[in-house]
Amino acid sequence: MTFGTLFDNLNIAIYQTMKKYIGFIIFASLLLSMSSCKQHDKGHRKYYDAGQNVIKKKQDIHEIQIEDVEISNFGTPYILNDYLIISDYNSFDKLIHIFDKNTFRYITNVGQQGQGPSEIANMGKIISDNERNIFYVIDHGHQSLLSFPMDSVLSNEFYVPQKKAGIDQTEFPFMMQYESDTLSYALFMRVLNPGDYTPVVAKWNMQTGEREFMPYVGHPEVEKKRVSFAASPKYNLYTEVYWYHDLITICTLDGELKYNLYGKNWDNRKSNKEAYFDQVAFCKDKIIASYWGDRRMYNRDGGQHVHYPDKLLIFDLEGNYISTLQIGYSILSFCYDDESDRLIFAFDDDIQFGYLDLDGII
């Protein structure tokens, strides 16, 4: 046997040994990861299959005819007491439109777009304070939360919003449930480096700027967390729905994990090709979330287009799956009107706005 042959055989032996060793390491790591995951939410795991109990509801969607004002396909609905508010960040003039929520009659608009001190530079979400009949607007351009008392908006067509609170550039609220000036629940974006962030739920004191981040920061197997959020002080709960994972988390308002809900397509891959959840809301004693369960981009007419969700998943407060509502229209966003017990939608479809009565459904 020559030295070269011996060397080749030695390489083969080393390769085979290392292959077995590496295989063992990978297998052991997978077991450890699975064990870690199970220990992480042991006793808190539930499962759902979005295709198990599907109810078609397209025929029950009532179109809302918007008149006297033009709103782009980026319109987003919100409810404040007797009013339907539709924000439109793509507008060239006023960004916020006010309607009677019962008749859908147009009333007025407010919120001048621009870089000036009394204008909205980069509009984010709208937050309702039903008790005082005020809505707030997150302005990411001016790093501030702006206040719009409805009485002032309705009586003064030139109303100029007041700054309610400042917002940190490196830790800023993206979605929020307002309770009081000293306590709100918000999904904060914590900027890690330019172009990246991690979302974490926190209690926020607007007066002092103090933020108390929840101890449960997200599923440990999800490397890049992207979620939407809703909170219910009435039920002492908040929920996060994952954009790119078939996963929902339910926690107490002190950040204690109650349940991780795993969908049929759950995995821990790092990819945004498959989309799952978009928006979530507490409706009565149920949790309702808009759901894709499909690719979020598709090819048409030689280009790529966004595929929006057309389903709603319904869960009880204990995380038990109830049903899937097949809406039949592409849902851009929705809000819940508690008083009328209905969902109001903005669609990217044959109709732009519509509503669904939930009586008998939840």
Q: In this predicted model, what pLDDT tens digit does every residue of 281-339 receive, in sequence order? A: 999 999 999 999 987 777 767 777 778 999 999 999 999 999 999 999 999 999 999 99
Q: Residue 39's pLDDT is what?
A: 57
Does the pLDDT value for residue 220 go beyond 60?
A: yes
Burial class (CB in 10 A: 0-12, 13-18, 19+), 225: middle
DSSP states of 302-345 as a string? TEEEE----EEEEEETT--EEEEEE--S-EEEEEEETTTTEEEE
Residue 294's nearest CA partner among 313, 314, 315, 272 is: 272
Mean pLDDT, all residues of the chain = 88
2 Cβ partners below 8 Å, 6+ apart?
none
Q: For the chain, where are the alpha helices, taking DSSP H only?
A: 3-40, 150-155
Token reading at 194: 């330019």
Average pLDDT of the residues in 12-19: 37
Identify residue 35 by its one-letter amino acid code.
Answer: S
pLDDT one-digit tens code per residue, 95-142: 999 999 999 999 999 999 999 988 999 999 999 999 999 999 999 999
Q: Residue 5's pLDDT is what?
A: 37
Average pLDDT of the residues in 149-168: 95
Identify residue 360 by its one-letter amino acid code.
Answer: G
Average pLDDT of the residues in 162-183: 94
Entry pTM: 0.87
Domain 46-357, second-level architecture: 6 Propeller (2.120)
Does the pLDDT value for residue 2 go beyond 50?
A: no
Q: Residue 38's pLDDT is what?
A: 53
Instruction: Report percent pLDDT > 70 for the chain.
Output: 88
Q: Residue 32's pLDDT is what?
A: 41
What element of type H or E holds 191? strand 183-193
Token reading at 148: 């719009």
What element of type H or E holds 86? strand 83-87
**Window from 16-25, 39-48, 53-62, 349-358 with minimum mean pLDDT:** 16-25
Q: Residue 10's pLDDT is what?
A: 32
pLDDT one-digit tens code per residue, 47-59: 999 999 999 999 9
Cα–Cα distance for residue pair 237/250, rounded to 1 Å: 7
Average pLDDT of the residues in 8-13: 37
What value, to the nearest 5°, has the Cα angle with vertex 116 and ends 112 and 118? 60
Q: Widest CA span of the chain, in angstroms?
A: 99
pLDDT one-digit tens code per residue, 24-37: 433 344 344 444 44
Average pLDDT of the residues in 176-180: 96
Q: Residue 270's pLDDT is what?
A: 83
Q: Residue 169's pLDDT is what?
A: 87
pLDDT one-digit tens code per residue, 308-322: 999 999 999 999 999
Q: Residue 115's pLDDT is what?
A: 92
Residue count (the chain): 362
Cα–Cα distance for residue pair 296/142, rounded to 1 Å: 31
Cα–Cα distance for residue pair 298/306, rounded to 1 Å: 7
